C-alpha cells in the first residue's frame, strides 16, 4: 500500500499523549498543487483519530474569522429575546427535532443540560412534521440577516466536510476507487447544525452544561466564542483510573483516563469524529466522550455543525480499515520478511452495517416530546 497510514507505524502504546489536542491545518487540501502537504495532513488526521478522536482543525485559509464571529452575535441576539418570542419556533411546532429547545429541555444521561439551543437539519423533500425528522427548519424572523448568514455557513461547512472526509480517507489508506465509493455515502450529508446558548452553571445545579456524550454521526466542526474552560474531552489512558465520574453514559461510571480542556484557538474549529467513523474503521478510530462545564460569568455561545452521512447511506467497516487491522495477513516468507498474503482473510468485521437514517431516527425519535429525552440521551 502507498498511503501514509501504511508507512507510519503509530502504535497506541508507545507514543506519549499530548495534554492538548493536535492542531491540523487543512490548507494543503484547499490548494491543488500541494501533494506532499496533503499527505502530511492525511497522516496527521489518521494519527489524531487513532489517538484522540479529536483535534483542532485550522480553517484560517478557508474562512474569515469575522464570519463565525458575526454568527455568534446573531445567536446572542436570538437568545436575548423574550422567552415567548423564542418559543415561537419551538421544536414542538415541528417534528420535535427542528427548532428551539428551552433551557434544560435537553437531557443527557438522565440529567437536564443547562443550555438552550436551536437545531436545524438538512431540509427534506415533501416535509411532513408528523414523521420523525421530516419537518421543516424554523428560522427566527425577528433578527435581520439571521437565515442568510447561517445558510452561508452551512454551505461552507458542507464543503469542508467533503474535503476533510477525503483527507481522512487518504489517511486511512483508501484507494482512489474506494474513496469514490465512500464519497457516495457522504455527498448529500444529512447534516445537523445547533446554535447553543449556555448561561453559567448555577452553583448547586445537579447536572452539566452539556453532559458527557459521544457524537453519533460522522464529523463535528465546533465553532465557539472565546470562552475558556468550558469544553472538556476525555482522553483514554489505559492504566490511569480516575474516580467515578458522575454524568457518564449508563454503564460507564469509571473510565481509564483523564479529562482535558479544549479551549478555543483562533482560526480553528474543534473537530471530532462520531460513532459512524468508529463503524467505518471497525473500531480503529473511537468516538470520544466530551462534555461542557461552563462555570464562568458570561453567556457562552457555541455553534457545532455535524457533517453526517447521507440519510440512506449504509455505513459499514471500510476495506481500508480492515486491511490495517488484518494482523493475520502479514505472513513471513522463506527469507523471514513479512508481506501481505492476498488470499488471507481480512480482519473480521466487528461492527454491523447501519442505515444512517434509521440509526438517526432511533437516536432522536421521540426526544424532547415531554419524554425527558435529549440529543445525547
Binding site residues, ligand AKG, CB under 6 A? 194, 196, 210, 215, 222, 224, 231, 290, 292, 302, 304
Provide the b/e sequence for 49-86 (b: ≥16 CB within 10 Å).
bbbbbbbbbbbeebbeeeebeebbebbeebbeeeeeeb
Which option in Fe ion, ligand AKG, none does residue 284 bind, with CB closer than 5 to 8 A by kind? none
> CB 215 → Fe ion: shortest distance, Å?
4
Query: Other C-beta atoms within 10 Å of 18: how many?
Result: 12
CB 129 within 8 A of CB 141: no
> CB 232 → Fe ion: shortest distance, Å?
11
Which option in Fe ion, ligand AKG, none does residue 194 bind, with CB closer than 5 to 8 A by kind? ligand AKG
Measured from the CB atom, is 46 or 290 closer to ligand AKG? 290
Give the contacts of 185 (CB within 8 A, at least 6 positions apart): 309, 310, 313, 314, 315
Measured from the CB atom, is 3 or 224 closer to ligand AKG? 224
> CB 195 → ligand AKG: shortest distance, Å?
10
Give the contacts of 83 (CB within 8 A, at least 6 positions apart): 102
Residue 232 near Fe ion by CB under 5 A? no
Residue 275 near Fe ion by CB under 5 A? no
**Distance between CA atoms of 179 and 318, rounded to whole angstroms?**
10
Which option in Fe ion, ligand AKG, none does residue 133 bind, with CB closer than 5 to 8 A by kind? none
Which option in Fe ion, ligand AKG, none does residue 224 bind, with CB closer than 5 to 8 A by kind? ligand AKG
> CA nearest 293: which of 220, 229, 249?
229
Nearest residue to ligand AKG, scored by beta-carbon proximity: 302
Residue 113 near Fe ion by CB under 5 A? no
CA 54 to the chain's CA centroid? 9
Among 215, 225, 232, 255, binds Fe ion (CB under 5 A): 215
> CB 4 → Fe ion: shortest distance, Å?
28
Taking each helix axis from N to C end, the angle separating 146-172 and 66-79, rounded to the nearest 10 degrees, works out to 130
Which option in Fe ion, ligand AKG, none does residue 3 bind, with CB closer than 5 to 8 A by kind? none
Measured from the CB atom, is 215 or 255 closer to Fe ion? 215
**Distance between CA atoms of 245 and 205, rounded to whole angstroms?**
16
Residues that bind Fe ion (CB under 5 A): 215
Amino acid at each position: 500500500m502507498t498511503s501514509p497510514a501504511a508507512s507510519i507505524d503509530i502504535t497506541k502504546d508507545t507514543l506519549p499523549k499530548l495534554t492538548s489536542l493536535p492542531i491540523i491545518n487543512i490548507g494543503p487540501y484547499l490548494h491543488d498543487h500541494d501533494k506532499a502537504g496533503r499527505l502530511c495532513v492525511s497522516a496527521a488526521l489518521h494519527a489524531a483519530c487513532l489517538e484522540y478522536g479529536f483535534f483542532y482543525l485550522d480553517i484560517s485559509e478557508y474562512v474569515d474569522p469575522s464570519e463565525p464571529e458575526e454568527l455568534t452575535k446573531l445567536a446572542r441576539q436570538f437568545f436575548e429575546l423574550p422567552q415567548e418570542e423564542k418559543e415561537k419556533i419551538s421544536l414542538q411546532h415541528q417534528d420535535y427535532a427542528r427548532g428551539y429547545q428551552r433551557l434544560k429541555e435537553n437531557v443527557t444521561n438522565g440529567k437536564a443540560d443547562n443550555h438552550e439551543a436551536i437545531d436545524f437539519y438538512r431540509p427534506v423533500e415533501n416535509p411532513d412534521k408528523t414523521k420523525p425528522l421530516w419537518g421543516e427548519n424554523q428560522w427566527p424572523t425577528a433578527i435581520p440577516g439571521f437565515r442568510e448568514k447561517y445558510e452561508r455557513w452551512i454551505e461552507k461547512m458542507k464543503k469542508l466536510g467533503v474535503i476533510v472526509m477525503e483527507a481522512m480517507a487518504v489517511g486511512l489508506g483508501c484507494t482512489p476507487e474506494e474513496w469514490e465509493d465512500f464519497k457516495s455515502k457522504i455527498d448529500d450529508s444529512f447534516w445537523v447544525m445547533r446554535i447553543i446558548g449556555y448561561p453559567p452553571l448555577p452553583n448547586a445545579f445537579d447536572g452539566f452544561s452539556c453532559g458527557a456524550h459521544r457524537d453519533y454521526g460522522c464529523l463535528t466542526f465546533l465553532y465557539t466564542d472565546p470562552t475558556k474552560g468550558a469544553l472538556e474531552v476525555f482522553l483514554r489512558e489505559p492504566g490511569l483510573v480516575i474516580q467515578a465520574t458522575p454524568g457518564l453514559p449508563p454503564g460507564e461510571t469509571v473510565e481509564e483516563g483523564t479529562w482535558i480542556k479544549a479551549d478555543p484557538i483562533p482560526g480553528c474549529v474543534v473537530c471530532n469524529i462520531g460513532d459512524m467513523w468508529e463503524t467505518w474503521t471497525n473500531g480503529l478510530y473511537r468516538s470520544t466522550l466530551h462534555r461542557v462545564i461552563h462555570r464562568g460569568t458570561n453567556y457562552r455561545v457555541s455553534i457545532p455543525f455535524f457533517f453526517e452521512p447521507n440519510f440512506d447511506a449504509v455505513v459499514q467497516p471500510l476495506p481500508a480499515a480492515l486491511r490495517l487491522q488484518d494482523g493475520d495477513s502479514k505472513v513471513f516468507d522463506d527469507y523471514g520478511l513479512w508481506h501481505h498474503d492476498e488470499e488471507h482473510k481480512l480482519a473480521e468485521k466487528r461492527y454491523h452495517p447501519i442505515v444512517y437514517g434509521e440509526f438517526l431516527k432511533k437516536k432522536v425519535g421521540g426526544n424532547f416530546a415531554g419524554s425527558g429525552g435529549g440529543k445525547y440521551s
